[in-house]
Amino acid sequence: MKKEQEKIVRFELDCGQVLSITHGYNIANSFPAHFHSSYSLGIVELGERDFYYRGERVFLKPNDTFIVQPFEPHSCISSDGVGHSYKVISLNLDSRYYFPQLVIPQPDLPSKIREFHALAEYDRSSPRLKPLLDTILELLLSHSLPHGADVLEKETSNKLLRAKHFIEENCQQEISLKEMSDAACLSEYHFNRYFHKCYGLSPYAYYLICKIKKSQEQLLVQDSVVDTAYEIGLFDQSHFTKLFKKHVGVTPGRYLRDNRQRR
């Protein structure tokens, strides 16, 4: 695929439930291990995406539909370093739904997802959006299974959830591992171990992800890369730019230009 300018556009859509929509164009970035707090339903448009998920390597080709479970670590990169384009819907589904595989072998899904994205981008008030989303969910959930047992006992899970919320609410500041573990009422050793077991990433890795997600919101409020870097507690603009590009796929300046009109 011819090398073109990288671009990521992200916006929210109220369609019975509030959805986050992401469109990535010509992205050649290598995304490190990370996770999302909602189900990510995506489709590859152009190029190929090399996914590492649940200990397996999967090559996604054009028209492949994929679903990533909340809080499940994964990493991905464009095959051979050539940019690929994709579209993702972040869904707030009940956590009882479990999808045993990354790629959804449902032949009717790709066309429905493409139609939904086209409407979401150009006609967000269309009355066709809600029934179209319902059709997509019906096709998608037909491939789900009952979720397995919880990884940790309920009391420990609640403690980790408290710490997770603490990290999210304070990610703009410097937070030590002790402060995180204190929020969970656990020792640093057990907190670090249980957090990684439950969410698949270290507390510090989650803290960085929260910083970057916060910066995506702040960029469109501050309208300044420098001010956003200071707002989220990253005073080295070069470090902020590298971290943002690593996790988002484009530089903060590029992201701001592409999404400024959607504020």
Give the domain CATH number at 228: 1.10.10.60
Burial degree of 261 (CB within 10 A; 0-12, 13-18, 19+):
exposed
Q: Are residues 166 and 66 in the same domain?
A: no
Section 107-133 average pLDDT: 92
- The model's pTM is 0.77
Answer yes or no: do 168 and 227 share one domain: yes
Residues 6+ apart with CB under 8 A from 24: 7, 8, 84, 85, 86, 87, 88, 249
Tell me which of 111, 146, 181 is where a domain ends.
146
- Is residue 88, in this structure, part of any structural domain at all? yes
169 and 70 co-located in one domain = no
One-letter identity of residue 130: K
Task: Kindly report the average pLDDT of the chain as a whole number.
Answer: 88
Question: Domain check: are 127 and 212 in the same one?
Answer: no
Span 49-66, mean pLDDT? 92
**Is 1 within a domain?**
no
Average pLDDT over residues 118-139: 92
Q: Which residue has the higher pLDDT, 212 or 2?
A: 212
In a domain, 70, yes or no: yes
Domain that holds residue 190: 154-262
What contacts 228, CB < 8 A, 6 or more positions away?
Answer: 215, 218, 219, 222, 240, 252
Is residue 14 assigned to a domain?
Answer: yes
- Output the domain CATH number for residue 142: 2.60.120.10
CA dihedral 20→23→29→31, nearest 10 degrees, is: 20
The tally of domains found in the chain comes to 2
**pLDDT value at residue 175:** 94
Q: Which of 114, 117, 112, 118 is nearest to 132 (CA)?
A: 112
Q: Is residue 2 part of a domain?
A: no
Strands (E), 28-159: 31-34, 39-46, 49-53, 56-60, 65-68, 74-78, 84-91, 97-98, 145-146
pLDDT above 80 for 90: yes
Residue-wise pLDDT for 145-159, tens only, equals: 876 545 457 778 889
Last residue of one domain, picked from the residues 99, 129, 146:
146
94 and 169 fall within a common domain: no
* H-type alpha helices, the chain: 109-122, 129-141, 154-170, 177-184, 188-199, 203-222, 225-231, 237-248, 252-259
| Model pLDDT for residues 230-258, shown as the tens digit of each residue | 999 988 889 999 999 988 889 999 999 88
Mean pLDDT of 129-144: 94
Residues 11 and 130 in one domain: yes
Verify that 160 and 133 share a domain, yes or no.
no
Looking at the structure, do residues 164 and 129 belong to the same domain, yes or no? no
Write a three-state SS string for 196-236.
HHHHCCCHHHHHHHHHHHHHHHHHHHHCCHHHHHHHCCCCC
**Helices 203-222 & 154-170, crossing angle to 10 degrees?**
40
**Can you read off the two tokens belonging to residue 235?**
């005073």
Q: pLDDT tier at 2 (50, 70, 90 boundaries)?
A: very low
Residue 212: which pLDDT band, with cuts at 50, 70 and 90? very high
Q: Does 243 fall in a domain?
A: yes
- Is 163 domain-assigned? yes
On the question of pLDDT at 104 being above 70, the answer is yes
Say yes or no: 139 and 159 in one domain. no
Decide if 72 contacts 123 (C-beta within 8 A): no
Residue where one domain finishes, among candidates 146, 173, 196:
146
With 70 as the cut, is the pLDDT of residue 1 above it? no
Ramachandran sector of residue 44 (left: φ over 0; alpha: ψ -120 to 50; beta: rest): beta
Alpha helices in 148-202 (DSSP H): 154-170, 177-184, 188-199
Q: Are residues 91 and 175 in the same domain?
A: no
- pLDDT on residue 210: 92
Domain match, 25 and 122 both: yes
Q: Do both 15 and 142 map to the same domain?
A: yes
Amino acid (1-letter code) at residue 42: G
